[in-house]
Amino acid sequence: MCEIKNKNILITGCSGFLGSKVAEIFKLNGNTIYGIDKNNIDKEKETFFDSVIQAEVTTNNLSSFNTKFDIIVHCAGSSSVRFSFENPDADYQMTVGSTIEVLNFIKESNRDSILIYPSSAAVYGNAIQLPIKETSELKPISPYGQNKLIVENLCKENHNNYNTKILIIRFFSLYGAGLRKQLLWDACNKFHNSDNPSFFGTGNEVRDWLNIRDAVQIIYKFSESDFEFMTINGASGNGTTNKEIISMISNHFGKKSFSFTGEVPAGDPLNLSADTQLLNSYGFKSEVSLDKGIIEYVDWYKKINSLNTYK
Q: Residues 23-66: pLDDT tens digits? A: 999 999 999 999 999 999 888 888 999 999 999 999 999 999 99
pLDDT higher than 50, residue 238: yes
Q: What percent of the chain lies above the pLDDT cut of 70?
A: 97
CATH architecture of 182-206+238-275+289-304: Alpha-Beta Complex (3.90)
The answer to whether domain 8-175+209-234 has CATH 3.40.50.720 is: yes
Examine the pLDDT at 5 and tell me if it is beyond 90.
no
Cα–Cα distances (Å) from 188 to 59, 161, 297, in that order, read: 40, 47, 9
The yes-or-no verdict on residue 4 having pLDDT over 80 is no
Predicted confidence (pLDDT) at residue 307 exceeds the cutoff of 90: no
- As annotated, the residues of the chain forming the CATH 3.40.50.720 domain(s) are 8-175+209-234
User: 29: number of CA atoms within 13 Å, CB side?
Assistant: 18
Q: Is the pLDDT of residue 1 over 50?
A: no
Confidence of residue 167 (pLDDT cuts 50, 70, 90): very high
Beta bridge partners of 115: 72, 166
